[in-house]
Amino acid sequence: MKKNYITLILVFLAFCFAIFLTFNRHSKTTSFNYHSEIWVDKAGYYVYLPAALKYRFDPYRFPDSIDQKTGGGFWLDYKGNRIVTKYTYGVALMQLPAYLAADLLAKPLHFERDGFSRIYHWSINVSAVIYLILGLYFLGRFLSSQYRKPTVWAVLLVLFFGTNLYYYAIDDTGMSHIYSFALFSMWLFLARDSNFLTTGKLRSTIFLGIIGAMIILIRPTNMIFLPAWFFLDAKGWNEIGSRLRTLSKPRVLAPLLMSALVVFAPQMFYWHYAFGTYLSYSYGHEGFNWTNPWISQTWFSPNNGLFLYTPMWFVIIFAIGWMIARKKENGIFLLGMFITLSYVFASWYDWTFGCSFGARSFTEYLAVFSIPLAWVFNEVSKQTRTKIAGFALLVCLMVILNLKMIYSYDGCFNGARKGYWNTYFHIITSPTK
């Protein structure tokens, strides 16, 4: 009981600390610009909430030109009487509790109750922090099944302060990545804790169906994660086959699909409303160039390259290589997953993913890649004090560099092609904002 109280207190303190960080970061942010919480992509994710709960999906009820004021992340189609967004509704659904709180408090606190005033922007910051804490909590419980608490705490702290998870939980709070991270962590914990892949218990099956549908609704490319966990902790092809046989049983597959369909159905109705069909590829001309992936640029470009903006990935890849050399389970699986993700994200028509801090599409997958990080931390702890100190110093320098770049970054990479490296080094050396 005492341990539970201590855990609750630590979670509460972490929540308060993250709330302070995000509101301090946004203290000078105004509405309707690229720094604000409801802007372009973020507005496209969010618009479902005011559309459904305030304006009944009627564009004529919306504040005048609000689609233009929020950067064009959605479109008020007056002729077709539609509110059009290419983004799925998963982020909005997860933002719903904080939105309802903001809507309740707007009038007493003298804000416009229009779904777009400043208090609704603040609600998105609160929402991101809630899912950050939930994600780290469930990830910690997932890792605790194999590692000691000091190792788990070290991994969680490094993931937050030493990667762009910090940026998408504290700065760019309206983007999808922190929500995906939370769902990935929940899935990993529940799948292992319930022994779902062996037993296929009904309650776990329903929960996983709901979480799985949300994972796809948050970001369609997240579907890469769902089949990948078949290989997690697998000791051979026989075990993978056994897991597939468990999943294919009607008592498992039926409730899994039904619970997923319940969550996915509103999206299908929206697609029919907006595009005239229950299944729609809403991204139009945006797509993948599978024959010409920009892998080296995705990894090492000064314009949002994975390793240059989040050098902690060097440690993660080193850990995977060490796991493979030691013939540890998950080593090959993690390497295959990293290569697959790199290929898919590098094949996207805009491999930089626009105004992002680093290769943002990898952010949610830090939940999975916490596994090699925990493993290498655990192995290093068995080494000599000199090696432990050297490794700790290296990790601390990477954390400092990550935070320095985040607090120097302006929200968009502004550099001509010939000046990419100059812009990158300017981010590293310029004063924090």
Q: Give 107-165 pLDDT, tens digit per residue.
A: 999 999 999 999 999 999 999 999 999 999 999 999 999 999 999 999 999 999 999 99
Q: Does pTM surpass 0.85?
A: yes
Q: What is the mean pLDDT of the chain?
A: 91
Q: Residue 119 burial (CB < 10 Å; 0-12/13-18/19+)? A: buried
CA dist list (Å): 83 to 46, 266, 269, 360: 12, 15, 13, 27
25 lies in some domain: no
> In this structure, are 152 and 77 located in the same domain?
no
| Measured torsion, CA atoms of residues 357, 130, 364, 50, in degrees rounded to the nearest 10 | -80
> In this structure, are 148 and 211 located in the same domain?
yes
CA distance 186 to 133: 12
23 lies in some domain: no
> In this structure, are 104 and 132 located in the same domain?
no
> In this structure, are 208 and 257 located in the same domain?
yes
> What integer pLDDT is reported at residue 195 of this predicted model?
66
Domain range for 104 is 34-122
> In this structure, are 142 and 104 located in the same domain?
no
> Would you tell me the crossing angle of helices 90-106 and 177-193 to the nearest 10 degrees?
110
> What integer pLDDT is reported at residue 418 of this predicted model?
65
Q: Residue 9 burial (CB < 10 Å; 0-12/13-18/19+)? A: exposed
> In this structure, are 85 and 135 located in the same domain?
no
CA distance 269 to 276: 9
Where is the domain boundary, 122, 149, 173? 122
Cβ atoms of 69 and 75 within 8 Å: the answer is no
Half-sphere exposure of 413 (CA within 13 A, CB side): 26
> In this structure, are 99 and 204 located in the same domain?
no
Instruction: Name which of 115, 327, 365 is nearest 224 in CA terms.
Output: 365
115 dihedral zone (left: phi>0; alpha: psi -120 to 50; beta): left
> In this structure, are 139 and 262 located in the same domain?
yes
When pLDDT is averaged across residues 240-263 and rounded to a whole number, the result is: 86
CA distance 411 to 414: 9
- Count the domains in the chain: 2
Confidence of residue 172 (pLDDT cuts 50, 70, 90): very high
Cβ atoms of 373 and 315 within 8 Å: the answer is yes
pLDDT for 302-348, tens place per residue?
999 999 999 999 999 999 999 999 999 899 999 999 999 999 999 99
> In this structure, are 137 and 277 located in the same domain?
yes
pLDDT beyond 90 at 262: yes
> What integer pLDDT is reported at residue 246 of this predicted model?
80
Would you state the structure tokens that stand for residue 374, as one six-digit string? 């925990």
pLDDT for 46-103, tens place per residue?
999 999 999 999 999 999 999 999 999 999 999 999 999 999 999 999 999 999 999 9
pLDDT for 128-137, tens place per residue?
999 999 999 9
Where is the domain boundary, 122, 157, 184? 122
pLDDT beyond 90 at 235: no
> What integer pLDDT is reported at residue 243 of this predicted model?
79
> In this structure, are 156 and 99 located in the same domain?
no
> Would you tell me the crossing angle of helices 202-218 and 90-106 to the nearest 10 degrees?
80
Confidence of residue 417 (pLDDT cuts 50, 70, 90): low
Would you state the structure tokens that stand for residue 102, as one six-digit string? 């903001």
Where is the domain boundary, 96, 122, 148? 122
> Which residues neighbour 235 within 8 Å (Cβ) at sequence distance 6 or greater?
329
Confidence of residue 200 (pLDDT cuts 50, 70, 90): low
13 lies in some domain: no
Confidence of residue 3 (pLDDT cuts 50, 70, 90): low
16 lies in some domain: no
Cβ atoms of 121 and 173 within 8 Å: the answer is no
> What integer pLDDT is reported at residue 253 of this predicted model?
86
Least confident of 161-175, 226-240, 367-381: 226-240
Please calculate the CA angle 36-90-373 and round it to the nearest 5 degrees.
85
Instruction: Name which of 397, 406, 411, 413 is nearest 428 in CA terms.
Output: 406
> In this structure, are 212 and 324 located in the same domain?
yes
> In this structure, are 46 and 170 located in the same domain?
no
